[in-house]
Amino acid sequence: MGLSELARFGFADLSSTTAKLDQLVKLVGDSGRSALADLAVCADPDQALNALLFLAESNSAKVKAILKKSDSSRRLCLLLGASSALGDFLKRRPECLNYFDKAIAALPTQALATEFFRSRVVPLLVSGFNSPDVWSALRIAYRESLLQIAIYDLSMVDVKAGLPSVAASLADIAGAALEVAIEIARVELSSNADHGVFTAEEIQSTEFAVIAMGKCGARELNYISDVDVIYVAGSKSAELANERAVEIATKLATRMMRAIDATAAEPMLWQVDPNLRPEGKSGALVRTLESHLAYYERWAQSWEFQALLKARPLAGSSELGEAYVNALAPKVWSSASRENFVESVQKMRERVTDYIPASEVDAQIKLGPGGLRDVEFTVQLLQLVHGRTDPTVRHRDTISAINALATAGYVGRSEAAAFAESYRFLRLLEHRIQLS
């Protein structure tokens, strides 16, 4: 095949592509040639070919079987061309190539992902277990779910229409990972009772809830994104004081976060970010519900109520998580009546924009003018203003909120449709950039 033809297929490294294709054919036979059509529709044909060749060199029989079937060949090539990170995961875990054999029929939910993660982790939680091994097992299981989501996503015909379900599933598997990470933390803490500081009964009596904020709270999570959270603690026993429960829950929170991002054989997943909590980094990591309420009653700024629009129970005690959201909801929806509320929200948005380097303003799809944050800030401001008296606009996710605002007549239908379309397009760009 001539260089000009390879260039038309999308390859950039023309000098070595022919040799690589020949080597692929040697390893997997004629199915290597037929894969060229699938490589040509990849986001990055060179990246896909390099990864495919690596996989074929270590597992030629499995790669040959995948490439023999047009559907599975297309799925594998699309994935390898779109994501170097997931390609690296397949190199570490070649058994996961089995996921390309059949189309992914449905996206993983939080309940199903939690059950799957537990099946990999719980057998390792035996006496004297090694925490890094358990963390790795959790992270591998998470990435298997992530791989399924990416295959499903890249195989869709109408990717913008399917984007909300993909983002929701990404949030769901993040929630499942934190749910199982809490279980790991409880076993770790109970196994040594933190060197005698806590009793097993005290740990068992401690309620701990993780509240999702931001994109995870709205089930709009990206492929690569910090998971913003707030922690709440309480006591289930009259014998356990709330102060003691907070101390134990703080240990659970730090151990939970280590399961996600501490050093282990399998790389970290993402950053668990608790800095939206009261007083930010300078505030207590964990508080009781009463302490949270006291803070928002007396000290919270307008932007903090705006952030709570997305708050959702994510992991740990569902009862405590629901109590947190329900108790704070009236404060959120009355916050727009605060003096200079609109002006303070607008100034917060302006401060974010001011930090963007001038050379990047026009290219910033997230923070720049007309970008994702502009859409989200505008929608949230309208929600807070009208949501005081109209419960129909009280939605966590942006698209549902836009539709509700249009239905209620607060935004013109044509403007809302254009707003939603632009938002989906920008989110799709963000997903594809992060997936790479």
As a whole number of angstroms, the distance between CA 286 and CA 246 comes to 6
- Is residue 355 over pLDDT 90? no
Phi first, then psi: give them for residue 305, nearest 5 degrees.
Answer: -70, -35
Structure tokens that stand for 348 in this block? 């917060």
Q: What is the pLDDT at residue 191?
A: 84
Question: Which helix or strand (DSSP H or E) is residue 345 part of?
Answer: helix 341-354
- Please give the average per-residue pLDDT across 184-199, as a whole number: 81
Q: Could you tell me the CA-to-CA distances from 280 to 226, 284, 338, 380 in Å, in that order?
A: 16, 8, 21, 21
Phi first, then psi: give them for residue 392, nearest 5 degrees.
Answer: -70, -15
**176-180, 192-196, 209-213 — which is least confidently predicted?**
192-196
- Please give the average per-residue pLDDT across 100-116, as a whole number: 96
Closest CA to 375 of 333, 411, 340, 343: 411
Its pTM stands at 0.94
**25-34, 93-102, 113-122, 172-181 — which is least confidently predicted?**
25-34
Question: Which residues contact residue 114 at a Cβ distance below 8 angstroms, ignoring those fewer than 6 apart?
Answer: 175, 176, 179, 180
Q: What is the pLDDT at residue 194?
A: 54
Question: Which helix or strand (DSSP H or E) is residue 298 part of?
Answer: helix 289-298
At 265-282, the pLDDT tens digits run 999 999 999 999 999 999
Q: Three-state SS for 234? A: strand
As a whole number of angstroms, the distance between CA 209 and CA 434 comes to 29
| % of the chain surpassing 90 pLDDT | 76
Structure tokens that stand for 248 in this block? 């134990």
| Mean pLDDT for the chain overall | 92
As a whole number of angstroms, the distance between CA 39 and CA 148 comes to 20
Q: Are strands 286-288 and 312-316 parallel, antiparallel or unpaired?
A: unpaired
Phi first, then psi: give them for residue 283, nearest 5 degrees.
Answer: -90, 170
Residue 186 — very low, low, confident or very high, per pLDDT cuts 50/70/90?
Answer: very high
At 310-339, the pLDDT tens digits run 999 999 999 999 999 999 999 999 998 888
Closest CA to 138 of 187, 97, 100, 181: 181
- Please give the average per-residue pLDDT across 169-175, as a whole number: 98
385-392 long-range CB contacts below 8 Å, 24 or more apart? Answer: 385/336, 385/342, 386/410, 387/333, 387/336, 388/333, 388/334, 388/336, 388/337
